[in-house]
Structure 1
Amino acid sequence: MLMRNRFYLVLAAVLVLAGCKETEVIPQQPIYTPISAHVALGNPSQATADGTDPANFLMVKDQYVFSYNRERGTPNWVSWHVSRHWVGNALRQDDFRADATLPAGWYRVGPSAYTGSGFDRGHNIPSADRTRTVEDNSATFLMTNMIPQAPNHNRVTWASLEDYTRDLVRQGMEVYVIMGSYGIGGTGSNGAATTIDKGRVAVPAMIWKVLVVLEEGEDDLQRITANTRIIAVNTPNTNQVLADWGTYRTTVDAIERETGYDLLSALPDQIEAVLEARVDTGPTR
């Protein structure tokens, strides 16, 4: 018995000195379970669908996921996945309409709310990213997907970035996209404005977008590394915006500081830190 006790004492000492795995406390990153593949990278503002925070109301469509802001009459951010799965031959529907799925009693921005304002009904998720079916394309024309966007910004600068995103898909890539806007006051074709629709829709000052670019494959989150291409762009919502979106490249960190969002929270911390600090230097077309 004495010899056995001595053996266990020595064994215990060896395990302590060696840093026994059974006794180590290794911090674990919280497991994030996305409600949709469109938010595989995380819920940037921790939006919820319970209606307790009308300025950060989670809405889930089959085609995209977003946080809606009742006070602004626009989304805070919209998140979606672009791949060849979503691209087909469906025509542009142009069926702008109010979103009937907003909670009862909430003001629903209508298709004529932007008329005469000098601002376009600017899509967050673009129509051309959802051409698999007529239903998919139609879903992008809900007014909850729109922001008052300066015409030159929408039709030139942003259109170029949207085209480039689909070019990447045609080259065999898939892209996770998060877009949003913030601030008050933009400049459209009629000059500067802070709101439209009798004050019920806020005109954003800045419009941003983040793209995570991967080669086509499975288990996307596990394939994102410190070398994955990240494109972050932050642009002024003005008619004087430059045509080359690459001029406005920035870091995810910078967008997070401006918005208070956590944009890539589902990634491991070390990878997230590297990617969010990088300014993209890749091609723009």
Structure 2
Amino acid sequence: MSKTTVAVIAAVSAGAGAAATAAMYSLRSSSKKIETEAATTTITTATTTTSTAKPPVPIPASQIFAPTPPTTATTTATTNSTALATTTGAPVDPAGLFEYGFPGPVADIAARSALISSFDRRLRNPHWVAEHITPSSLAIRDGDRKNSAFLEDTAVPEKFRAKLKDYFRSGYDRGHQVPAADAKWNQTAMDETFYLTNMCPQVGDGFNRDYWAHFEDFCRRLTQTYPSVRIVTGPLYLPKRDPVDNKWYVKYEVIGSPPNVAVPTHFFKVIFAEDGTVGGKVALGAFVLPNAPIPNEKPLTDFEVPVEAVERASGLEFATKLPVQRRKRLCAEASCALVIKDYADRQKAFAKGGSPPRK
């Protein structure tokens, strides 16, 4: 990864000193140091061990703010907040607001055949999307992309969802976070990757149809070495230093009419390559790529970052329950190199109703 991008990611770590941050994000260290850093990483993974998983049921605000666990399912926010005021003797009752509804934020969790996604209503993009690929899942070819169509996700309230018209003539591709090619094992599974809750605006030429597609192929090729590969993908909105006042600003385009859908500045992938044994080793790899044309000759390792860098930039966690002794660094265990294929012409053939390439 370039020094500029590393500095950008480090900049979102407001609590750390400059020297400590620079040391933390240095990738030019020994494998022993990398494992030491991994010990301090705090991450939560969204596992997809079963395709029948149901989305978690949100905990009612009335339960969150109750002084004691509610005794019945019908306990109201008003009752609990009144009890709280009585218990504390406070002259005010802020939790009484929840009698009229909980303001949020709310993450829309979708558990589908080949992916689990968490949707950000404010930015109209996913927070993250998790998938699981194996040699057997990639060997089955029962799904055909030609039979799939981009879909608005009606599970998201209409006023918060991304819409097909938002992408029309925007100059951006509807960029899959979990690629359709990872779900060829079933037509329904492939169709579900076309929900806009699995999409973000991506630069087409040079990125979505080129370098990003090669990166997705790299993830699939990992199944030649590892029997189980889990991947979390999502957008980032990273700050950039203004050359005039030398201050850092987060700046991103918003598309749609009215403009609702944010255009990410970067994208991340966190990869868990499992050795297939119970309690076995897991090769962890984290990558951050700019949403911009990238020359195909650019080494993938230039975009490798510590997992903690993605956590700090995204507000997510990825492996809090994975002991440090089970962790390996992916690019130390496997060759982190792309195989360049011609995806552009093939993807243009399926671009009906899509956006023109960004100029």
Q: Verify same fold: TM over 0.5.
A: yes
Give the TM-score of the pair, scaled to structure 1. 0.71
| Distance 1:49-1:154 versus aligned 2 partners, 3 A rule | farther
- Aligned counterpart in structure 1 of residue 130 of structure 2, from 51, 62, 79: 79
Q: 2:196 aligns with which of 127, 139, 143?
A: 143
Q: Distance in 2 between matches of 1:137 and 1:38?
A: 17
| Aligned match for 1:205, one of 265, 271, 289 | 265
Alignment of 1:223 with 2:280, yes or no, is yes
Give the match for residue 165 of structure 1.
Answer: 219
Displacement of 1:235 after TM fit? 1.1
2:178 paired residue number: 125
- Seen in structure 2, the aligned counterparts of structure 1 residues 172 and 48 have a Cα distance that, compared at 3 Å, is closer
The residue that corresponds to 1:256 in the other structure is: 311
Question: Of residues 254, 262, 276 in structure 2, which corresponds to 1:195?
Answer: 254
Contact 1:178 1:209 survives alignment (8 Å): yes
SS state of the match for residue 37, structure 1? coil
Matched, 1:50 2:30: no
Counterparts in 2 of 1:38 and 1:208: CA distance versus 1, 3 Å: farther
- What TM-score, normalized by structure 2, do the two folds share? 0.57
What SS does the aligned partner of 2:165 have?
A: coil
Residue 289 of structure 2 aligns with which residue? 235
Alignment gaps of 5+ in structure 1:
1-31, 40-46, 187-191
Secondary structure of the residue aligned to 1:108 is coil
CA distance in 2, matches of 1:254, 1:266: 18
Q: Would the aligned equivalents of 2:238 and 2:313 in 1 still touch at CA under 8 Å?
A: no
The structure where helix makes up a greater share of residues is 2
Conserved in 2, the CA contact under 8 Å of 1:65 and 1:80? yes
Identical counterparts, % of pairs: 25
Offset of residue 160 of structure 1: 0.7
In structure 2, C-alpha distance between the alignment counterparts of 1:218 and 1:76, rounded to whole Å: 30
- CA distance in 1: counterparts of 2:254 and 2:131, whole angstroms: 27
How far apart, in 1, do the equivalents of 2:301 and 2:106 lie? Answer: 31
Q: What is the CA–CA distance in structure 2 between the aligned matches of 1:35 and 1:163, rounded to whole Å?
A: 21
Work out the CA distance in 1 between the residues paired with 2:114 and 2:310. Answer: 24
Q: What is the 5 A alignment of 1:102-113?
A: 102=156, 104-113=157-166
Q: Matches of 1:112 and 1:86 in 2, distance apart?
A: 33
* Aligned 8 A contact 1:124 1:146 in 2: yes
Aligned pair in 2 of structure 1 residues 112, 184: CA closer, same or farther (>3 Å)? farther
What letter matches 2:110 in structure 1? M
1:265 — aligned with what? Answer: 320
The one-letter amino acid paired with 1:255 is V
Equivalent residue, structure 2, for 1:37: 49
Q: CA RMSD in A?
A: 3.0
CA apart distance, 1:98: 0.5
Structure 1 letter corresponding to 2:49: A
Instruction: Give the one of 317, 328, 331 matched to 1:280.
Output: 331
Tell me the secondary structure at the aligned position of residue 141 of structure 1.
Answer: coil
Report how far residue 238 of structure 1 moved. 1.5
Unmatched 5+ residue regions in structure 2?
A: 1-43, 60-101, 241-250, 339-359
- C-alpha distance in 1 between matches for 2:50 and 2:303: 25
Distance 1:175 1:106, change over 3 A: same
Q: 1:48 to 1:202 in 2, by over 3 A?
A: farther
- Which of 1 and 2 has greater Rg? 1
Say whether the 8 Å CA contact 2:230–2:271 is kept in structure 1: yes
